[in-house]
């Protein structure tokens, strides 16, 4: 699972750097995977970053759609 998380995060950063709408969308998908990982491994400290990054990706998606 950690390989999938790493690849999804790297892909997300690449897409965000290209300033495409796929960036925040893939970011939300990546956070879903991180959320699953957090719950399954009971690493509750990661939950804060999952919630905050979801909010950031939603914000970025809204800004993209309103521009």
Q: Where are the domains of the chain?
A: 2-66
pTM reported for the whole predicted model: 0.88
Q: Given phi > 0 = left and psi -120 to 50 = alpha, else beta, which region is 20?
A: beta
pLDDT at 67 over 90: no
Average pLDDT score over residue span 29-50: 96
Dihedral pair phi/psi, residue 62, rounded to 5°: -60, -45
With a CB cutoff of 8 Å and minimum separation 6, the contacts of 30 are 5, 8, 9, 11, 12
pLDDT at 1 over 90: no
């Amino acid at each position: 699972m950690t390989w999938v998380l790493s690849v999804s995060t790297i892909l997300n950063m690449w897409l965000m750097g290209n300033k495409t709408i796929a960036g925040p969308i893939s970011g939300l998908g990546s956070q879903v995977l991180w959320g699953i990982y957090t719950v399954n491994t009971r690493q509750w400290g990661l939950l804060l970053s999952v919630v905050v990054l979801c909010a950031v990706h939603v914000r970025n998606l809204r800004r993209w759609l309103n521009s």
